[in-house]
Chains A and B, each alone.
Chain A
Amino acid sequence: MTSKIQPVFIVGTGRCGSTMLSNMIRDHAGILSLSEFLVSVTDFAGRTAKTFPEGRPVDAHHAWNVLGGFHPRQTAMLRHGVEMDEMLYPLASTSRFNRQTGVPAILYVTLPHLTRDHDALFDELRDYVMTFEPDLAFRQYVRVFEWLMARFGKRAWVERSGGSLRAVPRLAKSLPGARFIHIVRDGRDCAISMSKHTGFRMMMACTIMNQILGYDPYETDERRGVEELPDQFYRLLPEHFSGDAFASLDAPAALFGHYWSGEMMRGLKALADLPRDRVLTIHFEDILAEPKPWLRRMVEFIDPSFVDEDWVQRAAATIRPVRSSWRNLPVLEQSALTDACAPGFQVLSKHGLEPDSGGACPMPWYAGVRQRVRPAITLARFVGVRAALALAKARLGRVTSASPSAV
């Protein structure tokens, strides 16, 4: 590794404002901004095992198949016009790659994020990658990052992929000096955004399909047990995939609220295992409220030599107000979403990670109570109010004794 500055990854649950940071860093004179590398090369995490074969060297051809290959989930989405909004490769009729050919993984976002001459860069990169001797996967990808860093005259690289919080254990193990900027946003806003985002919808659909089938239908022609797929997932098998089927997928914000909580629980546990000086936690809401100190702190974390007031001014000026908020939802949906995000808020609180701006994470006081007495209310319909009250009392007893600082 030639970079003297230890690698930095911006991680988060996804839909948490990390793309904004990637775009800001791209404008920094000393830092190479690698956007959506992990998402693209793992094909929404579906190809993680192929991208990072455990303990096995990866040769040049394998590495190039990962970087420059056409991956099945991305290709299906592209062919049916439901690619991620973040995709930067221009799908013009004159483009080298199009909806029918598919777009190589690293051309989805990562290279067009760096230059308009991405096709030529793609060819240059292929020539470089084909010189690789077999080595562990992550070392090969770091070679690519450092080659790009040198190519663009930068002194450090920062990789940022949406939803990469769950990759922290692997990243920390593969790159022992790696550091992490963890961007946190109110789970309810993340979940709403995820439920509308094609990448997250695809990831969730594939997770559910894989779990029901026991194999990944995007990686094999095997179709054992497809009769067990509910119709909405059956229609998303590669051979049936269509834009309409994808649009009709029922994946509401509450589902992603549960997912967000799970990611936060797992992610904070992994980050807590690292030395404190290798992790910086930033709240999206804090950046919106007071961008400059937080942006300054972020580049200082990457390397103190990168603090550049002009960049801070320019980056802060790019911030736009957030258009939607969970507070705009109908009351019942707010309540369901808050319930789903409660475990995530609790674990943030446990780690002392509330935002400075306040008000973003706390749940209504009644949410935790309602969550616990709900079964009793249901029970009351069957066994009568008396038994249900006894249960509610028992539950409330646990709430007050176990959660003195209900978040």
Chain B
Amino acid sequence: MTANHFVTGGTGFVGSNLILELLAERGTAVYALTRRSSRQSAEDRLQSALRHAARAAGYDDALDHAIAERCHAVEGDVLSENCGVTTGGLPRPDQFWHVAASLRYEERYAAEIFRTNVEGTRNALALARSSGVDRHFNYVSTAYVSGCRMGLIREEISSGQTPNNPYEASKIQAEGLVQQSLDLRPRIFRPSIVIGHSITRRVSSGFSGLYGFIKRVLRLRQLLDRIQDGLASRAGLRVIADPNALLNIIPVDVVARQLVRIGRSGSRATVFHITNPTPPPAVEVSRVIFRELDLPQPVMVSDSAGMNWIEQKVEEGLGFYKSYFRGTRVFERTNSDWTLGVSVPEPGYRMDSATVAEYVRWYADVLRGTTDLLPAAEAAAA
């Protein structure tokens, strides 16, 4: 018997890997809400994104047949009412996966972020309802709905937390909408910082999270060197960091695998943390990043006292990513581990320095290939 899944955000990083994982089971069909682009139809765009994700995940082209045969684009947009979809011709889905989201976090994009993440979730809930989803509405949220809270973060719908930015605020609101939709038997999945595939280390799209941080550091290096040759190598930077902070990074294939396994389970729990139970220290990860980008090791400090202008700008420039390095959060995984079972250890959790360096090196090479220093400008100004 065919199990039908409806997925939003299927061309994104987590969404595409989720679809690959769903397709791994024979008899599964996936319908993915997809926008058309100016150059590609929705179907072409989806197929192309999935093939790209398959290569990044190390699949050979044998999977392409399954992608073409069992995955279908449904043209629409979470920003439209009912996602712009007429459900007449669609098979009734067993599970609905709402992954589409805006990963922006800047205040100036707040309206867009709320429109995509809150109104988009409202529209996805409406579509799930009208499509008559059989089992569950699965919402992929973020572990960082915890906002400024530190310490043990429980797998429960919480309230009263202070978000760090509009992204977190929008995800908190969206979780509220999902939680209230009891008729859809909702499940809320909260991945932490999702990184590349645990075997290939590669990412197919959506360089956010840790990759956004790496990119910022590289840009900083390039900018300093553009202002003065070798400045980046000479300027030892002070960066504010909590020495006890843990950076909860988890490979995308581990996330996708856990989503699908919990999705297929009979668990009655609502909230699941898809996080790394053994995260590396944030300070160690940042050391690896600086080393891989040929920068002098940063000096970790506890506050901004005495920082020079460059250091202050680095501090401001890190923006969203600063919260990764401040305070210690421990994400409870009781629901997830109970549902998944803990008999087999997950090798993807391992994040020693050498492993982290492999993830960073892959992306640093990508960046170096695409973001060379621009030609130095000549005459400046009077």
Contacts and interface: CB of A to CB of B under 8 A. Distances in A.
A259 B319 contact: no
A163 B300 contact: no
A180 to B, nearest CB: 13
Given A39-B381, A48-B377, A262 B227 contact: yes
Interface stretch (B11-19, B101-109, B174-182): B101-109
A15 B370 CA distance: 35
Nearest to A164: B379
B40 interface: no
A339 B308 CA distance: 10
Contacts of B317: 230
B237 to A, nearest CB: 10
Interface in A44-80: 44-46, 48-49
Residue of B212, B306, B382 contacting most chain A CB atoms (<10 Å): B382
B380 A162 contact: yes
A13 to B, nearest CB: 8
A207 B377 contact: yes
A221 interface: no
A381 B147 CA distance: 29
Contact of A164 (B224, B236, B378): B378
A49 B371 CA distance: 19
Given A231-B106, A254-B309, A382-B300, A262 B231 contact: yes
A19 interface: yes
B380 A44 contact: yes
Contacts of A389: none
Nearest to B224: A258
A340 to B, nearest CB: 8
B165 to A, nearest CB: 12
A265 B229 CA distance: 8
- The A contact surface, by secondary structure, is helix
Contacts of A162: 379-382
A259 B226 CA distance: 9
A248 interface: no
B374 A214 contact: yes
A14 B381 CA distance: 7
Given A231-B106, A234-B108, A259 B381 contact: no
Contact of A381 (B108, B219, B302): B302
Interface stretch (A97-105, A194-202, A317-325, A351-359): A194-202
Interface string A216-243: 0000000000011011001000000000
B382 A378 contact: no
B142 interface: no
A212 B219 contact: yes
Contacts of A208: 223
A99 B317 CA distance: 34
Contacts of A84: 381-382
Contacts of B223: 207-208, 211-212
B226 A42 contact: no
A255 B228 CA distance: 10
Contact of A200 (B106, B378, B380): B380
Given A199-B380, A231-B108, A255-B227, 20 more contacts: A39-B382, A45-B379, A164-B378, A164-B380, A197-B382, A207-B226, A211-B222, A212-B219, A214-B371, A227-B109, A230-B317, A254-B309, A254-B310, A258-B228, A262-B231, A336-B308, A336-B309, A339-B308, A378-B306, A381-B301
Interface of B: 104, 106-109, 212, 215-216, 219, 222-224, 226-229, 231, 234, 236, 238, 243, 299-302, 306, 308-310, 313, 316-317, 319, 370-371, 373-382
18 contacts: A15-B382, A42-B377, A84-B381, A162-B380, A162-B382, A163-B381, A164-B379, A167-B378, A197-B381, A202-B381, A207-B227, A208-B223, A211-B223, A214-B370, A214-B371, A258-B231, A336-B309, A378-B306
Interface of A: 14-15, 18-19, 36, 38-39, 42, 44-46, 48-49, 84, 86, 109, 161-164, 166-167, 170, 197, 199-200, 202-203, 207-208, 210-212, 214, 227-228, 230-231, 234, 250, 252, 254-255, 258-259, 261-262, 265-266, 336, 339, 343, 375, 378-379, 381-382
